[in-house]
Amino acid sequence: MSLRTLETLGDLAGKRVVIRCDFNVPLSDGVITDDGRLRASLPTLNALLDAGARVVAISHLGRPKGEPDPQYSLKPVADRLAELLDRPVAFATDTVGDSARETAASLEDGQIAVLENLRFNAGETAKDDAERGAFAAQLAELADVMVSDGFGVVHRKQASVYDLAQQLPSAAGLLIAKELEVLDTLTESPVRPYTVVLGGSKVSDKLGVIDHLLPRVDRILIGGGMLFTFLAAQGHKVASSLLESDQIETAAGYIRAAEEGGVELVLPTDVVVASKFGADADHVVTAADAIEDSPFGASGLGLDIGPDTAAAFAEAVRGSKTVFWNGPMGVFELEPFAAGTKAVAQALTEVDGLSVVGGGDSAAAVRQLGFDDSAFGHISTGGGASLEFLEGKKLPGLEVLGWA
């Protein structure tokens, strides 16, 4: 089976198309602070609108409890989308109620509407198949065909992702098709040398992806909070740095497996250690095997990779033909501890080949640090979905579109 794409839906002029997007963007006081996911949806939305479709865009935002919650309204998304599309975007104040039905029915060819947050309805995330299916059936009444383009949710068996795609003729949008093309390259046909850079807070969040990619890569670079569990696995003390004690033996196993498999597993040689967690904390650079020898002793907190490590990681990245990066190298939100993440991001922009930023915190980091999306080969819109794909898992939102 192969992925059903837009072409399989035929002529969409005059058709009502419900499109599941991922508009789950960060908000601060009702203002969108990163519209990357909205911009990623534009190619598919424009393709549908240019084809004369009547587009009903649906999404979730945040984690409301199955009932309306004003702080999670998609109204700011509809307003921003109108600016990005340079055309009016109607907004329905509910998901499948009177407003949704009237708004969808009022659309003419080449017009678009956004419905209110799907998770205002408990049926969206229900574990009960019948409840989920019933909500999907109400959504299906609003359209003739369904396009799935929210890659960030394809690992979820939810009404708008899974059940709706079974109730209407359905296909993947351009964003999902692009994501799969890139991720398939990372797992099946990478150009070598192939380097994976892993960061973020926990080893336990990356177990599956390390297991699946270790036999497929030439080099793995370990940063972020998870580095301290690896250092502990080498017998080093890490003071009060983030440590998953129950994963030390697992990390040791990865170090052995990499050595046996001829994979270069690179750990930091120096780290930035702080007196406390905060932008105003005193901090020093110490050798990775001497963290407790810092002025802060056993209370020191490792919050970033050190400058020597950042330089070595950057050189390794630049010397690769394929790079996948998931997880910041330190607490990039705090300026004193952003240098490691910035060095890796900068190196990714200089790769002579395919550079992939693996969504989630990594995508947020490159934008917050001032990099343009176009500087990278691809920025994934799905952190969790990307990782699960790279773990080799079956994703229900893709399987229902024919991907196998």
Residues forming the active site:
37, 202, 360, 384
CB atoms within 10 A of CB 370: 8
Burial grade of 324 (CB within 10 A; 0-12, 13-18, 19 or more): buried
Instruction: Show the CA angle centred on residue 271, arms to residues 266 and 274, nearest 5°.
Output: 155
User: Residue 360 annotated as binding?
Assistant: yes
Residues β-bridged to residue 219: 195, 264
User: Residue 156 annotated as binding?
Assistant: yes
Q: What is the largest CA-CA distance in the chain?
A: 70
User: Residue 358 annotated as binding?
Assistant: no
| Cα–Cα dist 201/214, whole Å | 19
User: Residue 300 annotated as binding?
Assistant: no
| Cα–Cα dist 162/155, whole Å | 10
User: Residue 62 annotated as binding?
Assistant: yes
User: Residue 24 annotated as binding?
Assistant: yes
CA gyration radius, the chain? 23
User: Residue 337 annotated as binding?
Assistant: no
Burial grade of 174 (CB within 10 A; 0-12, 13-18, 19 or more): buried
User: Residue 63 annotated as binding?
Assistant: yes
User: Residue 15 annotated as binding?
Assistant: no
Burial grade of 399 (CB within 10 A; 0-12, 13-18, 19 or more): middle
User: Residue 302 annotated as binding?
Assistant: yes
User: Residue 204 annotated as binding?
Assistant: no
User: Residue 306 annotated as binding?
Assistant: no
User: Residue 318 annotated as binding?
Assistant: no
173 within 8 A of 19, measured Cβ to Cβ:
yes
Give the annotated binding-site residues for ATP.
206, 302, 333, 359-362
Give the annotated binding-site residues for substrate.
22-24, 37, 60-63, 119, 156
Give the annotated binding-site residues for (2R)-3-phosphoglycerate.
37, 119, 156
Give the annotated binding-site residues.
22-24, 37, 60-63, 119, 156, 206, 302, 333, 359-362
